[in-house]
Amino acid sequence: MAAEPAAEANGIATLARAFATFTASTRRLEQEYAALRRRVGELTSELEEKNRLLAASLERERALEAAALRQSRLAAMGEMAAMLAHEVRNPLGAMELFTGLLLDDLRSQPEQLRLARQVAAGIADLDHLVTNLLEFTRTRAAAEAGGGRIDCAAVADEALRYVQHLIEVHGIEVVRTDTAAPAIARGDAALLRPALLNLLRNAVQAMPAGGRLGVAIARGAADVTITIADSGPGIPPAQREAIFAPFFTTRVKGTGLGLTVVRELVAALGGAIEVESPAVGAAFTVRLPAA
């Protein structure tokens, strides 16, 4: 009879050991399962990240292909525009010369003089368009440091003379502000002149009923700034970056090349252009390295 309790105790002990082994095994399985779930989660995250990177890479590749296609089309258009511009410029120059002579002959005939001035203005617009096309298609080499000197005040005066007729027609007041120190920049004046002319024409066209045109030149420690400001309707914030893109325009008869040409010319001079549009008007500031 005494053997029965001992056997029962041994059975309970064996059962307890088996239960403990089962519990430990279950705990290890739970830990391994949790680790496996974590690893699956990590692998899933890695796969999602690789899929995202692959999708982004494919999107970049498609964007690059589209950009290359646009560039090839622009290059073909540029070649054609340059050929047409060269062909148009010669007869246009002759028309401008003869119209100038006609204006001199008609000074005593006000009505005929008014009509002739309209013709002259149309020819000037065509010449400006042709110039922008040529500047847009021409490859510009970056200006070498110290390679030339630009009297910014003199170039601004020359550009103002080109648009003097438009200023008078629209009844615009010109406010000129120059720094006391000579504003001499590095580079080629032939690059700066068409850039300022484009900015001045844009400013005048923004004020068809008259207004105020500000031209300010300042000399800093390392740069020269030329600011052309108008009192027109201004530029909406959403358009302040787009205005420099080729062929972007808000005008019915605009080509959208003027500001693109300005930015390219200023960049070729080693400078930069900034635009601000407060409550009234817009202001474009050209920054050039000082000589």
User: What pLDDT shows up at residue 153?
Assistant: 93
Domain that holds residue 246: 149-289
- Encode pLDDT of 47-103 as tens digits: 888 888 888 888 888 888 887 777 677 667 667 766 776 677 778 778 888 888 888
Domain-located, residue 144: no
**Max Cα–Cα distance, the chain, nearest Å:** 150
User: What pLDDT shows up at residue 98?
Assistant: 83
Mean predicted lDDT score pLDDT of the chain: 81
DSSP secondary structure code for residue 146 in this structure: T
Selected residue with higher pLDDT from 242 and 103:
103
- Let me know whether 130 and 196 are in one domain: no
- Let me know whether 125 and 198 are in one domain: no
CA gyration radius, the chain = 36
Domain-located, residue 143: no
* Side-chain half-sphere exposure of 55, counting CA atoms within 13 A: 6
283 phi/psi in degrees, rounded to 5:
-135, 125
| DSSP-based three-state secondary structure for 175 | strand
Grade residue 200 by pLDDT with cuts at 50, 70 and 90. very high
Domain-located, residue 178: yes
CATH of the domain at 218: 3.30.565.10
Into how many domains does the chain fold?
2
210 phi/psi in degrees, rounded to 5:
100, 165
Instruction: State mean pLDDT over 208-218.
Output: 93
User: What pLDDT shows up at residue 136?
Assistant: 63
Percent helix, strand and coil across the chain, each rounded to 5?
A: 65, 15, 20
- Encode pLDDT of 148-196 as tens digits: 889 999 999 999 998 888 898 889 999 999 887 788 999 888 888 888 9
User: What pLDDT shows up at residue 248?
Assistant: 62
Residue 252 predicted with pLDDT over 60: no
- Let me know whether 134 and 26 are in one domain: yes
Which of 104, 138, 172 is a domain's end point? 138
Global pTM value: 0.59
Pairing state between β 211-219 and 172-178: parallel
Domain-located, residue 212: yes
Pairing state between β 223-230 and 282-289: antiparallel
User: What pLDDT shows up at residue 138?
Assistant: 61
- Encode pLDDT of 125-161 as tens digits: 777 777 766 666 664 544 444 468 899 999 999 999 9
Identify residue 283 by its one-letter amino acid code: A
Residue 17 predicted with pLDDT over 80: no
- Let me know whether 33 and 120 are in one domain: yes
